[in-house]
Amino acid sequence: MIKTLVLLGATGDLAGRFLLPALAALRAAERLPDDFRVIAGAREDLDDPAFQCFVAERLERHAPHLPDAARADLIQTVRYRPTDVTDPASVSGLLSGIRQPVAVYLALPPSLYAPVVTALGAAGLPVGSRIALEKPFGESLDGALALNRLLTEVIGAAGEQAVFRVDHVLGLATVQNLLALRLSNRVLEPVWNGRHIEQIDILWEEDLGLEGRAGYFDRSGTLRDVVQNHMLQIMSLIAMDLPASLDEHALRDRKVDVLRAVRILSRDDVVARTRRARYGAGRLYDPTGGAGRVVSAYRDEGGVDAARGTETFAEVVLDLASERWAGTRFLLRAGKALRRRRKQVTVRFRPAEHPSARSAPANELRIGLDGPEDLALHLTGGAPLDPSCPAPVSFAAPPPAADLPAYGRVLLDVLSGGSTLSVRGDESEAAWRVMMPVLDAWSAGLVPLEEYPAGSAGPP
């Protein structure tokens, strides 16, 4: 296992909200070596004690449930150096004296990846090191292709094993459970195809607005931020043919097969099969029963350039050119400031062929991706032939207990050399090929930018 994590962008929101708490969780679970250390770099002019205070405050805010001893131990292992992450000399100074392999985590905006990777190449990394990059990987297909070429130049013979393209959704316990459901369930697999399944909805609906992320989100939008990565990854796991083994190469091969089977949308398809919208002023739902927080329209949020026309809601309907999924629609929908938080896969089965069942509501399997349910099977029972037949029934199961947060699993994979939770280079390029026609048509104004009130179900 790699024993040194170099954290670039260490004072940012990603590091403070997710990565540092995940490291503390790994320490609490005794999953890190005793001599593990964190070398942190960012532009702020801090010394070790000041940065350790920053870490303590973020852990108190975002990981108060973790043992005090684990948090204190992590705080003592961090060292900080002010760093210009795009300057080879500054990066070289951050890495000076390190001879063992390191994992360099780029907790930075995607626009900085190319100059930072270039700086790392010039500074030189110890043999056996890894570079981890957050999603979205590039900002377009051309950007992803260029970044993959740059990484190949920098890492040389180490190849894909030295690159970790992070999509933390793959580390969620519920998404891991989705994979287990496919691999171990002999009941579902025989009907997991277009003959029996009419539509699969993949939903990533949030009941929060920007929450201070305008600087990043307004340049990205929901399609780049969520659909191109999280949702296509989930679709790949849902739709893939089962790999012959759990070998990480076989698993990622099957996911790439799905992405390459997606029918690329024409401009007419984009107009007919996609929607984009942004939220207007409204009141967000309060799950405690309160009145809810009033929010401004997205275009009026601080840090937003309304002229960009950035979407906070995106919907795309896809289908696959494969024998397994002939006739099945895949609906991907994501949005912010909606009525409720709902992250799930809904599998809608075709009605039974018997005439009495054709007018009945579809049976559904709902798979929770981030709570509150893990699995929920809703059976309509069809139109009963006998009035004494029981009413429709539902079965639900709670989400699995998570031993580690999603980023804890990601970091463990990064440090241990695993790649199951990493997105392969050709996989990232295939995902961009699916979404580029949508982005191009939206940029050309072919699909109108609708508006919906914050706290509503979305555009009408």
Ranges 36-40, 124-128, 363-367, 379-383, most confident: 36-40
The number of distinct structural domains making up the chain is 2
Report DSSP letters for 228-287, one per residue: IIIIHHHHHHHHSPPPSS--HHHHHHHHHHHHHHBPPP-HHHHHHHEEEEEEESEE---T
* Helix/strand/coil for 96: coil
Residues 6+ apart with CB under 8 A from 24: 59, 63, 66, 70, 71, 74
Predicted local distance difference test score (pLDDT) of residue 147: 95
Q: Which residues lie closer than 8 Å to 249 by C-beta, 6 or more apart?
A: none
Query: 136 and 185: one domain?
Result: no
Q: Residues 39, 104: one domain? A: yes
Residue 361 lies in a domain: yes
Residue type, 301: E
Residue 415 lies in a domain: no
- Of the given ranges (61-65, 125-129, 246-250, 405-409), which has the lowest mean pLDDT? 246-250
316 falls within a domain: yes
- Of 165, 197, 226, which residue is a domain's last? 165
pLDDT single digits (tens) 317-347? 999 999 999 999 999 999 999 998 999 999 9
| 110 and 227 part of one domain | no
Place of tokens 């289908």: 319
Cα–Cα distances (Å) from 374 to 144, 332, 380, in that order, read: 34, 19, 20
Supply the pTM of this predicted model: 0.90
Start-to-end CA span in the chain (Å): 51
Bigger pLDDT: 450 or 393? 450
Same domain, 25 and 53: yes
In a shared domain, residues 148 and 294: no
Of 129, 144, 165, the residue at which a domain comes to its end is: 165
**In a shared domain, residues 156 and 199:** no
The widest CA-to-CA distance across the chain, in whole angstroms, is 80
What is the CATH classification number for the domain harbouring 147?
3.40.50.720
Specify whether the CB–CB gap between 78 and 37 falls below 8 A: yes
pLDDT at 59: 97
Task: Assess whether 152 and 178 both reside in one domain.
Answer: no
Residues 6 or more apart whose CB falls under 8 angstroms from that of 377 comprise 363, 364, 365, 366, 394, 395, 396
User: Rounded to an integer, what distance in angstroms lies between the CA atom of residue 324 and that of residue 343?
Assistant: 25
Are residues 225 and 312 both part of a single domain?
A: yes
33 with 91, same domain: the answer is yes
Boundary residue ending a domain (165, 196, 211): 165
| pLDDT higher at 292 or 5 | 5
Are 216 and 360 part of one and the same domain? yes
Asked if residue 302 and residue 270 are part of one domain, the reply reads yes
Report if residue 383 sits inside a domain: yes
| pLDDT tens profile 399-438 | 556 688 999 999 999 999 988 889 999 999 999 999 999 9
SS3 state at 149: helix
Taking the C-alpha atoms of residue 304 and residue 307, their distance in angstroms, rounded to an integer, is 9
Helices (H), 48-171: 48-62, 68-77, 88-95, 113-123, 141-155
Which CATH number is 244's domain given?
3.30.360.10
Identity of the amino acid at 260: R
Q: Tell me if residue 59 falls in helix, strand or coil.
A: helix
Tokens encoding 319? 């289908």
Shared domain check, 208 and 148: no
User: What is the pLDDT at residue 159?
Assistant: 84
What percentage of the chain's residues is helix, strand, coil (to nearest 5)? 40, 20, 40
The answer, yes or no, to whether residue 213 has pLDDT greater than 60, is yes
Q: Which domain holds residue 28?
A: 4-165
**What are the tokens at 314?**
């995106």
Domain-located, residue 253: yes
Q: Does pLDDT of 190 surpass 80?
A: yes
Structural domain contains residue 156? yes
* Residue 458 belongs to some domain of the structure: no
Decide: 19 and 434 in contact? Cβ < 8 Å. no
391-396's contacts with Cβ under 8 Å and 24+ in sequence apart are 392/361
Burial profile 125-138: b = 16 or more Cβ within 10 angstroms, e = fewer? beeebbbbbbbbbb
Tell me, yes or no, whether 411 lies in a domain. Answer: no
Closest CA to 229 of 134, 150, 149, 115: 134
Report long-range pairs for 372-375 (Cβ below 8 Å, ≥24 apart).
Answer: 372/399, 373/344, 373/397, 373/398, 373/399, 374/174, 374/177, 374/398, 374/399, 374/400, 375/181
Active site residues: 230
Packing angle, helices 68-77 and 20-28, rounded to 10: 120
**Residues with Cβ within 8 Å of residue 428, at least 6 apart in sequence:** 137, 138, 144, 148, 165
